[in-house]
């Protein structure tokens, strides 16, 4: 059936069932069956009597084959598991990891029924508009270094969105990506480890790409690339570019063994620095965000005591910017 797709893609216009059949040495009935199967996979194929079949919007195709085909990265996204519907791609990658899947294995969903964010919050993952992906990492690092991976994920996504759009996405430490004052991207990194050894890491990335409208409770805090730019973007390209960018950052991090080489770029892209923030821990406190440390933590100056403190994993909100 993919041979039919190749014929349609190459033609770029209508091709009759007869002609496709001739080219592939199959019957017209077989062509029709193949077309139906392609449609079930999400390919939009127009059929007009006396003209034949035509592939519509080939650039928007979003499935396993398309994602694997135009891949630029070596390992990240080499194997793609595509789900029309799943609870959470992080769950799928975790299962695949436990079954021995290779680093770089990628899960992508068209719809997540139980997409989750950090701290047990739900992550809205409707059909057709967003990128919901998880990628498997097997870094040879100690668990304490793993939070840096999340920062690298933020850098990779930020770079891709800066290159693909006219927007100015910025990272809210550690790894949310905002456009303007609203969140467009969230990253949930989950780890399976022992005290001294990381078994594997699942990096889950959610991007509101072509979302035209959010439910009322999210309208003030969430945005999409479409809402900010008025343009739609091919999700396939976004996924492939992120895999390429993430692989580059990840390999450079493993080679360097520290976050130091990325600090300057991270600081430049980080909207949190210089701002007044609220740090939520056991006792929430107000502080000014001063810098990012070599380990990727946030250095702040407390408003109450005037003392400097390093913030590790605590949730930080920027005053005046919705969480
Ligand atoms: C957050 O901002 O709190 C993190 C959101 C992470 C959402 C992504 S979508 C793909 C992957 N699967 C999930 O269930 N969550 C992550």
Least-confidence region, from 31-45, 70-84, 140-154, 246-260: 31-45
Q: What is the pLDDT of residue 253?
A: 97
Q: Whose CA is nearest to atom 15 of ligand 1?
A: 116
* Digit-coded pLDDT (tens) for 119-145: 889 999 999 899 999 999 999 999 989
Ligand 1 centre distance from Cα of residue 112 (Å)? 10
pTM: 0.91
Q: In the predicted model, is pLDDT for residue 156 greater than 70?
A: yes
Residues 169-193 have a mean pLDDT of: 94
Q: In the predicted model, is pLDDT for residue 311 greater than 70?
A: yes
Q: Measuring CA to CA, which residue among 10, 282, 310 is closest to residue 147? A: 310
Least-confidence region, from 39-53, 242-256, 286-300: 39-53
Element spanning 179, H or E: strand 176-179
Residue-level length of the chain: 323
Q: What is the pLDDT of residue 314?
A: 62
Q: Whose CA is nearest to atom 7 of ligand 1?
A: 206
Which residues does a 6 A CB cutoff place in the pocket of ligand 1? Answer: 88-90, 112, 115-118, 121, 123, 125, 132-134, 176, 186-188, 204-206
Q: Measuring CA to CA, which residue among 188, 192, 189, 187 is closest to residue 97? A: 192
Ligand 1 centre distance from Cα of residue 224 (Å)? 15
Q: Which residues contact 6 (CB under 8 A, 6 or more apart)?
A: none
Residues 21-31 have a mean pLDDT of: 93
Q: Which residues contact 135 (CB under 8 A, 6 or more apart)?
A: 76, 77, 93, 104, 105, 106, 107, 202, 203, 205, 243, 246
Q: Which residues contact 264 (CB under 8 A, 6 or more apart)?
A: none
Report cis status (omega within 30 of 0) of the bond before 174: yes
Percentage with pLDDT > 90 across the chain? 79
Q: In the predicted model, is pLDDT for residue 315 greater than 80?
A: no
């Amino acid at each position: 059936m993919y041979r039919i797709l190749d014929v349609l893609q190459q033609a770029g216009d209508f091709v009759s069932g007869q002609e496709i059949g001739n080219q592939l040495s199959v019957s017209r009935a077989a062509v029709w069956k193949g077309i139906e199967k392609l449609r079930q996979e999400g390919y939009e194929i127009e059929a007009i009597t006396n003209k034949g079949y035509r592939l519509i919007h080939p650039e928007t195709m979003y499935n396993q084959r398309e994602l694997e085909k135009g891949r630029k990265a070596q390992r990240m996204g080499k194997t793609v598991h595509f789900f029309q519907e799943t609870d959470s791609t992080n769950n799928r990658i975790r299962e695949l990891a436990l079954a021995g899947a290779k680093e770089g294995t990628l899960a992508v969903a068209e719809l997540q029924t139980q997409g989750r964010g950090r701290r047990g919050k739900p992550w809205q993952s409707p059909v057709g508009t967003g990128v919901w992906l998880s990628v498997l990492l097997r870094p040879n690092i100690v668990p304490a270094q793993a939070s840096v991976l999340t920062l690298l994920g933020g850098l990779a996504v930020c770079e891709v969105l800066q290159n693909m759009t006219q927007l100015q996405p910025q990272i809210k430490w550690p790894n949310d990506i905002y456009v303007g004052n609203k969140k467009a991207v969230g990253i949930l990194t989950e780890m399976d480890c022992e005290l001294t050894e990381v078994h594997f890491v699942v990096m889950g990335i959610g991007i509101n790409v072509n979302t035209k409208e959010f439910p009322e409770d999210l309208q003030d805090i969430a945005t999409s690339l479409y809402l900010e730019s008025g343009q739609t973007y091919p999700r396939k390209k976004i996924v492939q570019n992120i895999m390429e960018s993430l692989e580059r950052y990840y390999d450079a991090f493993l080679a360097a063994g520290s976050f130091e080489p990325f600090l300057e770029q991270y600081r430049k892209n980080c909207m949190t620095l210089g701002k007044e923030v609220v740090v939520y821990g056991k006792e929430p406190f107000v502080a000014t965000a001063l810098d990012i440390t070599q380990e990727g933590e946030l250095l702040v100056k407390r408003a109450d005591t005037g003392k400097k403190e390093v913030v590790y994993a605590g949730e930080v909100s920027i005053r005046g910017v919705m969480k």
